[in-house]
Amino acid sequence: MNIGQAAEASGVSAKMIRYYEQIGLIRPSARSDNNYRVYGEDEVHVLRFIKRARSLGFSLEETERLLALWQDRSRESASVKAVAVQHIADLKRRIAEMEGMVKTLSHLAHCCGGDGRPDCPILEDLAGHVPPPIPAASRSRRRAP
């Protein structure tokens, strides 16, 4: 199949397939007599593997490692698990960072009058000023179930 057909069969765009070849994540495809890329079921299966790994948030480096482990039939599952466990820790860290962003932005939005006046705690925070403290009444409401 050509690159368009491989893209459709795998769910990976032709542009990404070319990119994965360029960075060495996948082997360059065979070429036809007229120099078009040619893909088979094995290549499409690899592309599906990559797509799934990327959809789970694995980086290109992690995906490359997982792909190598998948293709190595003598691998130990402990190696695969180590990659997954590290990725889980990274995801949890990123989630905590995002929750902190939500909390900060929610507080700033709450403190912003959102009216016709020019003062804005959101912009003040972005400019490096300290945001106003959370009012005691708001803190006590947050603790309630």
Where in the chain are the domains? 1-58, 96-145
Q: What is the pLDDT at residue 132?
A: 62
pTM to 2 decimal places: 0.76
Find the helix packing angle between 3-10 and 14-22, rounded to 10°: 100
The secondary element (H helix, E strand) that includes residue 30 is strand 30-31
The predicted structure's pLDDT at residue 129? 72
In this prediction, residue 145 carries a pLDDT of: 47
CA distance 65 to 79: 10
Q: Do the Cβ atoms of 122 and 108 come closer than 8 Å? A: yes
pLDDT in tens, 16-41: 999 999 999 999 888 888 888 899 99
pLDDT for 66: 98
Cβ-contact 43, 28 below 8 angstroms = no
Half-sphere CA count of 79, side-chain side, radius 13 A: 13
Q: What is the pLDDT of residue 35?
A: 84
Architecture of domain 1-58: Orthogonal Bundle (1.10)
Which regions in the chain score pLDDT beneath 50?
144-145
